[in-house]
Amino acid sequence: MRSVRTAVAIVVAGALAAPAVAVFPLAVSTSRFLDIAGFSGRWFASAAEPFWLKSIELSIVLGIGAATAACVIAVPAAYAAATGGSARTTKCLDGLAVATLVMPVIALAVGYFRMFGESDARVLFLADTTLCFAMPYLSLRMASARLSDAQLQAAELLGATRLGAMFAIWIPNLWRPLALGWVLAFLTSWDETVLSVFVAAPGTTTLARAIWETMQRERDLTAAAINALSAPLLSTLLVVLLGVPSSRGSAR
């Protein structure tokens, strides 16, 4: 019975993950028109061309910048909520954070278009940070709800200021949810295609936009090569930080 369950679980999970796993065989395909007839490094070579390198560079800069900015802004906000800040502000931020997660990004793109027209990477940076904010914020909010107040109270009694306690106790205790929030924020920005396609000017191409445009219009499989290299790293990071939920107590 157990082995049947194991098999079923792995097959179902594999089937659902299959479209993403297809990146590996496609990365070494020989032809632009999707023949898996042989083994070729041409897509890896093509990934080193200026067009792709520029877009990778932009995506990395935007990703790190937006994720870091989102964390820097989210940490104090979540801390304020955790240490007796105004309930109204907390609810407002919670609601806005959830809103950025669930709203269709393209609707936001229409607003951005009216605001900035066809614009450059600085607008993308603003947009990405806004969309990324929810990740560290909600991650910290949920984790701090489970953290006991005892340490903070002790710190207060020992004379620490609120700000000091944030750096000395709160963040170190919650480094894991914070790191998870950062990685999720990075992934959000890394994968952000809609705004990059509709709001950014032609010269500003992020990797996500480059992939969307070339895959649908040209079937250039360079994206497969790039993803074959980046995806294992990003996914592993994500899973390690998230932790596999285990019945023996909380996630690792």
Tokens read off for 142: 């949920």
- 30, 40, 46, 130: which one binds another protein (CB under 8 A): 130
Residue 232: CA atoms inside 13 Å, Cβ hemisphere, count? Answer: 7
- 41, 45, 48, 122: which one binds another protein (CB under 8 A): 122
Residue 145 binds another protein, judged by CB under 8 A: no
- 87, 102, 145, 150: which one binds another protein (CB under 8 A): 102
Residue 233 binds another protein, judged by CB under 8 A: yes
Least distance (Å) between residue 181 CB and another protein? 13
Residue 147 binds another protein, judged by CB under 8 A: no
* Amino acid type, 204: T
DSSP structure string for 25-50? HHHT-SSTT---SS---HHHHHTTSH
Is the alpha carbon torsion for 190, 127, 108, 119 positive or negative?
negative
- 45, 48, 53, 99: which one binds another protein (CB under 8 A): 99
- 28, 127, 140, 185: which one binds another protein (CB under 8 A): 127
Residue 62 binds another protein, judged by CB under 8 A: yes
- 56, 168, 173, 179: which one binds another protein (CB under 8 A): 168
Residue 212 binds another protein, judged by CB under 8 A: yes
Quickly tell me which residue has 């592993």 as its tokens.
Answer: 236
Residue 46 binds another protein, judged by CB under 8 A: no
Residue 229 binds another protein, judged by CB under 8 A: no
Least distance (Å) between residue 178 CB and another protein? 12
Tokens read off for 177: 């949810």
Residue 241 binds another protein, judged by CB under 8 A: no
Q: How far apart are CA 215 and CA 193, in angstroms?
A: 13
* Amino acid type, 110: V
Is the alpha carbon torsion for 35, 36, 39, 44 positive or negative?
positive
